[in-house]
Homo-oligomer: A and B are copies of this chain.
Amino acid sequence: MAQAAGVSRQTVSNVLNAPERVSKDLQEAVLKAIKETGYRPSSMARSLALQRTGLVAFRVGDGMRNEASLLDPFMREVARIGAHYDYRLVLDAVPSDDSAQIASYQDLTASRSVDAVIIVETHLDDLRARWLTDNNVPFVAFGRPWGEESAKHSWVDVDSRLGIRQAVEYLHGKGHYRIGYIGSPVDGGRHEDRRGGWCEAMKEVVPESVSEDLTCLSFESRRRDLGANIDAFLESASPTAVVCQDDQFAHEAMRSATRVGLTPGENFAVVGFDDSMVARRAQPAISSVAQPLTQAATLVWKALLPQIRGGQEKPLQTLIPPELVIRESSDFELKR
């Protein structure tokens, strides 16, 4: 231990954590002693001195299976990039409702167990961001503050509207103009944003759709009896292509299309969202709008670290452009 070299623990702590308080000569002597003895301060003692833990809370759901969601790969990417800054994620296993999460943040911050919090799946009337802001907890949201455009906290999100527009433009270029949309009922948040993106793109990009009642080309479902309902939608609205809120809807759409006599990838095009395994493993493989998770995870740390260090920088608020990945489900010219 460094103490063996005649240096007190407090001096070691000062050299490591507050070098400005220590003379240059003493600094060098201590660093030399540390090197010689392999001294390694306890993370707990160091945390107490620095008032930092090197830990950031990240909620995990209590559902056993979450495979279709992007949250697991996003979490792994945030963990991987955090390691470059000597930060680790602490998994916070709490239910998905805001109040349960806030109770947990209250506990974690009051006991100073973490330096910051990452929230995901933001939604309308999200109480978490407000609580964290009011309590001066360093945090960043993966997901914009739906319905509160003036919110002052840091957030990172993917520009889904742009991704959906890319899909509509691409399908129009392949000869489609009856391009439908399939997704969840509007929620004032990300579901509505994706559907809105489709509606806007149809009006601006697809001149043939001007005379069309777009509501006929849009299908919404809470995922109950999805299959049969999509069958009926495809038969009544007769789209030649559909853009879907996520890959699971896209997968269902492809099955429905086959049931009603269409051939996905030949006379019926499907585009999903998230570029998940569901899209990649389907047959034919499904084109999908990919969320750039590495970029998102990088920005999450860029927003968090200055807050943890106590800087008064401007909040980081960024929309990242997604990227359309084209696969067999849509890669053909529509014959009229």
Which residues of chain A have a CB within 8 Å of any CB of chain B? 40-48, 53-55, 58, 60-68, 72-73, 75-77, 79-80, 82-83, 88-94, 110-113, 251, 255, 276-278, 281, 283, 293-294
The reply to whether B113 and A68 form a contact with Cβ atoms under 8 Å apart is no
Cβ of A72: which chain B residues have Cβ within 8 Å of it?
66-67, 72
The reply to whether A112 and B79 form a contact with Cβ atoms under 8 Å apart is no
The reply to whether A42 and B112 form a contact with Cβ atoms under 8 Å apart is yes
Nearest residue, chain B, Cβ from A297: B64
Please name 23 pairs of A and B residues whose Cβ atoms are closer than 8 Å in the assembled complex, sorted by A: A43-B112, A44-B48, A44-B112, A45-B48, A58-B91, A60-B80, A62-B76, A64-B77, A65-B73, A66-B72, A66-B76, A76-B91, A79-B91, A79-B93, A88-B90, A88-B92, A89-B90, A89-B91, A90-B90, A91-B91, A277-B277, A278-B281, A281-B281
Separation of A121 and B147 alpha carbons in the complex (Å):
44
Query: A79 contacts which of B48, B60, B73, B283 (Cβ < 8 Å)?
Result: B60
The reply to whether A66 and B60 form a contact with Cβ atoms under 8 Å apart is no
Cβ of A277: which chain B residues have Cβ within 8 Å of it?
65, 67-68, 277-278
Cβ of A47: which chain B residues have Cβ within 8 Å of it?
44
Interface centre among A44, A88, A94 (most CB of B within 10 A): A44
The reply to whether A83 and B93 form a contact with Cβ atoms under 8 Å apart is yes
| Contacts beyond the supplied A45-B48, A88-B93, A277-B277: 19 A-B pairs with Cβ under 8 Å | A41-B111, A42-B111, A42-B112, A43-B53, A44-B53, A48-B48, A58-B91, A64-B77, A65-B73, A67-B73, A67-B276, A67-B277, A79-B91, A79-B93, A82-B93, A90-B91, A91-B91, A277-B278, A281-B281
Cβ of A90: which chain B residues have Cβ within 8 Å of it?
55, 88-91
The reply to whether A76 and B61 form a contact with Cβ atoms under 8 Å apart is yes
Given contacts A112-B42, A281-B251, contact A93 B65 (CB under 8 A): no
Separation of A88 and B40 alpha carbons in the complex (Å):
24
The reply to whether A255 and B276 form a contact with Cβ atoms under 8 Å apart is no
